[in-house]
Amino acid sequence: MRYIKLVLFSVIILFLLMTAISLLFPSTVIVSRAVNISRPKDSVFTYIKDMNGWKQWIDGMDKPVVKILSASEADMAGTKVVIDTSTLPAIKSLWQNSKGKWMIATINLFQDAAHLNTTVQWQYEQKVKWYPWEKFGSMMNDKILGPMMETDLNNLKKLVESR
């Protein structure tokens, strides 16, 4: 009985310690990547304004599990994606997974003064609850999303610069 109490007390203390540490983490996590493209803003905008453009540069958009429902809505294997163009010049998209959690992705375009180069900045923003497993899990967002975003942005760069 003594060992059971010790184990139970240790588990409670460990959980409280993990919760206290996780409260130091931010409740909003942002992963951001950018790429410079040697083309005017309008050339880039063609590929980011709707799902048909996304299909050409985002890996996996051409797979059978991805269903493009309209120019602004798609079902990506259980993740609902809606593009909101009312936020121009930025393009915002809302991503809802099968568990109902939302992430906001924003694509910003910045053009140089000569209108020859465009910087495409893409970021994902996720709000996490106070739960320790969510806070600690959010630490992996940059390692998971970052490389995929870099690949997709490089695909966009190749696509736009080749035309």
Q: pLDDT for 107-138, tens place per residue? A: 999 998 888 899 999 999 988 888 888 888 87
Q: What is the pLDDT of residue 127?
A: 86
Q: What is the pLDDT of residue 134?
A: 81
- For the domain spanning 26-161, the CATH number is 3.30.530.20
Domain boundaries of the chain, sorted by first residue: 26-161
pLDDT mean across residues, the chain:
89
Q: What is the pLDDT of residue 154?
A: 96
Percent of the chain with pLDDT over 90: 41
Q: What is the pLDDT of residue 105?
A: 92
Q: What are the tokens at 46?
A: 């063609």
Query: What is the C-alpha separation between 95 and 105, in angstroms, rounded?
Result: 7
SS3 labels along 27-87: CEEEEEEEEEECCCHHHHHHHHCCHHHHCCCCCCCCCCCEEEEECCEEEECCEEEEEEHHH
Given a cut of 80, whether residue 161 has pLDDT beyond it is yes
Query: What is the C-alpha separation between 22 and 137, in angstroms, rounded?
Result: 10
Q: What is the pLDDT of residue 36?
A: 95
Residues with Cβ within 8 Å of 16's Cβ and at least 6 positions away in sequence, in order, are none
